[in-house]
Structure 1
Amino acid sequence: MSQTNEHIRSYYAHSANPAPQRQRLQGSHQADVCVVGAGYTGLSTALHLAEAGFKVIVLEGARVGWGASGRNGGQIVNSYSRDMDVIEARHGKDAARKLGAMAFEGGRIIRERIAKYDIQCDLKDGNVFAAFTQKQLDELEAKKRLWEQFGHTGIEMIDKPGMARIVNSDQYVGALLDHWGGHIHPLNLALGEAAAFESLGGQIFEQSAVIDIVRGDKAVVKTAQGQVSARFVVVAGNAYLGDLIPKLAEKTLPCGTQVVTTEPLAPELARSLLPGGNCVEDCNFLLDYYRLTADNRLLYGGGTVYGARDPGEIERLIRPKMVNTFPQLKDTKIEFTWTGNFSLTLTRLPQVGRIDSNIYYSQGCSGHGVTYTHLAGRIMSEAIRGQSERFDAFANLPHYPFPGGRLFRVQMLTLGAWWYGMRDRLGL
């Protein structure tokens, strides 16, 4: 986990709700459960367990929400990076049925948390999948039929004329509007969940990077200045886990996305860009995504890289995409630029499992982390409480390592990004 002290300079950090500076872990502590990582996966698990009466300690290497949970596009996107038809084809009908029953739960958990704990994070309903081509639109029609088979009743197709009420851009031929999706201020959601956990007696230690986990009936989680003995450990570092557990690190690839945020726009201009107030992602393999913030900025992100980028390069990469979508913003100043890593798996499905009988992990959201991580926290808390059926539905999926080690994984990502970018440009 990272030793960086503070949040990166992002729009989210700039507009974050007040939050306390939490102490480092020092000395020896006891807990029922020790959670490694204070992002969505760790916070969701910790909050579910605290609600069930467990004594939980969360250890964070930097600040609450420092990683992907505080840097992402803020879009509540349902299902998984590979949908139920792919799951059925690869892993069978039973796996598709079980995972399909949970595919829309993450978004519901987010809304439950916001309502129950009065979390101020600019929740707005509705996300849009926008199609450039008829082929993409046909695929969205198929997605609608598939999701309806699994109980989703809040989706509608948007034709070309109907796009005028969604987005003021002429490049799309239609879209799928998911009323159960939406968008939030992601860092403020994480901060609110952390405060909710602490209100139930939970403890979070920041600047407390975990350096070792000693396995045993009671595991011992060690930092530079302290340790926690716990009956159960939850490993929730995801793309920022590093080499703490090498067998997990070899099965995922941290890769990054770039995000920019404009200066505040005039309210009339902001409303004209996205009249419905929805967030949008396109249907390309290397997709772009965008939305309006609560203070009328356009937040625009996309692309896939390995590692961070400097601010000037981020603007050089993203501004042309933004202006292509909204030419009216060609002279608009970009005020914030940042990158953040997410964790990719070979199958593009999450990896969930146990090490020994008492160390649980979830990783590899593959771009669907905002909703999936909240579901992951619930199913891991269920398993720790002895109800493992839903946990096992994910744990039974194969978890393949990336071949060739870390260097070759980076080369694979670079080659893959080039290939999919070429397919996008050719409309394949």
Structure 2
Amino acid sequence: MAIETFASNGPTKHTTSYYAASANPSPPRPALKGNQQIDICIVGAGYSGLSTGLHLVEKGYKVAIIEGARVGWGASGRNGGQVVNGLNASLQTIKKRYGQDTANFVAGLVQEGGEIIRERVATYDIKCDLKPGNIFTGLTSAHMKELEARRALWASYGIHNQDMLDKAQLRAHIGSDVYAGGMIDHTGGHMHPLNLALGEAAAFEKLGGVIYEQSAVIDCDTAAAKPVVKTAGGTMTCGTLVLCGNAYLGHVVPALTARVMPVSTQMMATEPLGEARANALLPTDKCVEDIRYILDYFRLTADKRLIFGGGTVYGGTDPHDVEAKLRPAMEKVYPSLKNVKVDFAWSGNFALSFSRVPQLGRLGTNTYFAHGYSGHGVTGSHTFGKILAQAIDGDKTRFDVFAKVPWYPFPGGRMLRVPYSMVGSWYYALRDRLGV
């Protein structure tokens, strides 16, 4: 199946997800038409673009966001809804690759994304069912040692919001016996991701920002002193351009295409389970993810469905039957759900960088970009949006640190990045199965 892209022959609707079916009301926005000008133009109305834009309009800038489909159409409106602190790459990995100073810097911002989300929800009264706490689970003794090492490492950087859970303690949070134990992060959480995006968009517009929907970008002049964005219906000339298309930017900006690879992950939502049945699955209403290389993740919704996700398809293609792929894993965790009805099943792409570290940078003089969150985009995008806004406003202190972090191409280039990554995933999946 082809990688999902924006429609060029008509409006693009949200995917058939539980989130789209339960989204708060949101007005359709006009498409970009004619030749327009603005101080700052952002491509992409996902979390990165919305976070950047909202921080900038709060500072008084005139900002327009151009979106190829609808607000939150991509990963921001389809993800597992989990607020997970940290990057994909561990602090230890960052220290080994880039040095202690960079590790200290990253440690200082790994919780910032969650803080921004909580502040946005409170300040703008965003109705997205935000709940506190997330749990990492281990299936083997090796996993438990890894979790303990992670907790100790974060504590060494002054981060003390995590507690280990043995098997009995974990059972108070998760009604399953498959896990050896886990670790709870009290400053994590979960929410309705599309409603968070829609609420941030509404706040952005209330402060004077403009959003154009159904306006897929077909060309960007990033080298010009005043960058120009072109869509099928118009152009936008701006003083500063910010590219936040992430996995859905496609080939519009060739300089960014090879930096990341789209990866598809899958989710499904059961029928409403009722209070008693749902509470038996997750008594404390925390979200959960295990720590395998190809992991499972799950949580309850406000109407007491179980959202269960997992699986990875490199290159961003969708499996033929999402439910068939995920149901065995869900039933292994929760045998009581063997005959439960699944009401929604969907896929979405995130952008994977080879180093598993997000990339922040600049093309030419006045074009900025952020992408490559590698599955940790809910928090990372909010942090990077703030850093981008600070840089555009004149404070490039934090931007320059990340911009100097080297990026690495996928071995074999674009043609071989998918098979190379698949081989790597098979290796780590085998290690998970062997418990090493």
Quote the residue 1:2 is aligned against: 6
Preserved CA contact (<8 Å) 1:99 1:394: no
Quote the residue 1:313 is aligned against: 321
RMSD of aligned C-alpha atoms? 1.1
Q: Tell me the amino acid that sits aligned with residue 305 of structure 1.
A: V
Report how far residue 162 of structure 1 moved: 0.5
- Cα distance in 2 for partners of 1:253, 1:247 equals 13
Query: SS at the partner of 1:187?
Result: helix
Quote the residue 1:333 is aligned against: 341
Quote the residue 1:350 is aligned against: 358
- Cα distance in 1 for partners of 2:411, 2:294 equals 22
- Cα distance in 1 for partners of 2:15, 2:330 equals 22
Match status 1:266 vs 2:274:
yes
Q: TM-score, normalised by structure 1?
A: 0.98
Match status 1:204 vs 2:211:
yes
Kindly report which structure 2 residues correspond to 1:329-408, keeping only aligned pairs within 5 A, or say none.
329-408=337-416
Q: Deviations over 1:27-59 (max 9, x none)?
A: 122211100000000000000000000000000
Report how far residue 417 of structure 1 moved: 2.6
Match status 1:54 vs 2:73:
no
Q: TM-score, normalised by structure 2?
A: 0.96
Q: Deviations over 1:296-351 (max 9, x none)?
A: 000000011033325x6211110000000000000101110000000101100001
- Cα distance in 1 for partners of 2:425, 2:91 equals 24
Identity of aligned pairs, percent?
Answer: 52
Name structure 2 gaps, 5 residues minimum. Answer: none
- Cα distance in 1 for partners of 2:305, 2:297 equals 14
Residue 286 of structure 2, aligned match among 278, 281, 294: 278
Report how far residue 276 of structure 1 moved: 1.0
Q: Deviations over 1:212-257 (max 9, x none)?
A: 1123111111111111111100000000010011121101110110
Kindly report which structure 2 residues correspond to 1:28-43, keeping only aligned pairs within 5 A, or say none.
28-43=35-50
Preserved CA contact (<8 Å) 1:81 1:348: yes
Report how far residue 420 of structure 1 moved: 2.1
- Cα distance in 1 for partners of 2:160, 2:358 equals 25
Q: Deviations over 1:166-206 (max 9, x none)?
A: 10110111111001000010000000000000000000000
Residue 180 of structure 1, aligned match among 179, 187, 192: 187
Preserved CA contact (<8 Å) 2:411 2:420: no
Quote the residue 2:121 is aligned against: 114
Q: Tell me the amino acid that sits aligned with residue 225 of structure 1.
A: G
Structure 1 stretch displaced more, 413-422 or 2-11: 413-422
Report how far residue 409 of structure 1 moved: 1.3
- Cα distance in 1 for partners of 2:146, 2:265 equals 24
Quote the residue 2:426 is aligned against: 418
Residue 196 of structure 2, aligned match among 174, 177, 189: 189
Query: SS at the partner of 1:31?
Result: strand
How many residue pairs are counted as aligned between the two chains?
427
Kindly report which structure 2 residues correspond to 1:139-154, keeping only aligned pairs within 5 A, or say none.
139-154=146-161
Q: Tell me the amino acid that sits aligned with residue 40 of structure 2.
A: V
- Cα distance in 2 for partners of 1:420, 1:203 equals 45
- Cα distance in 2 for partners of 1:152, 1:99 equals 12
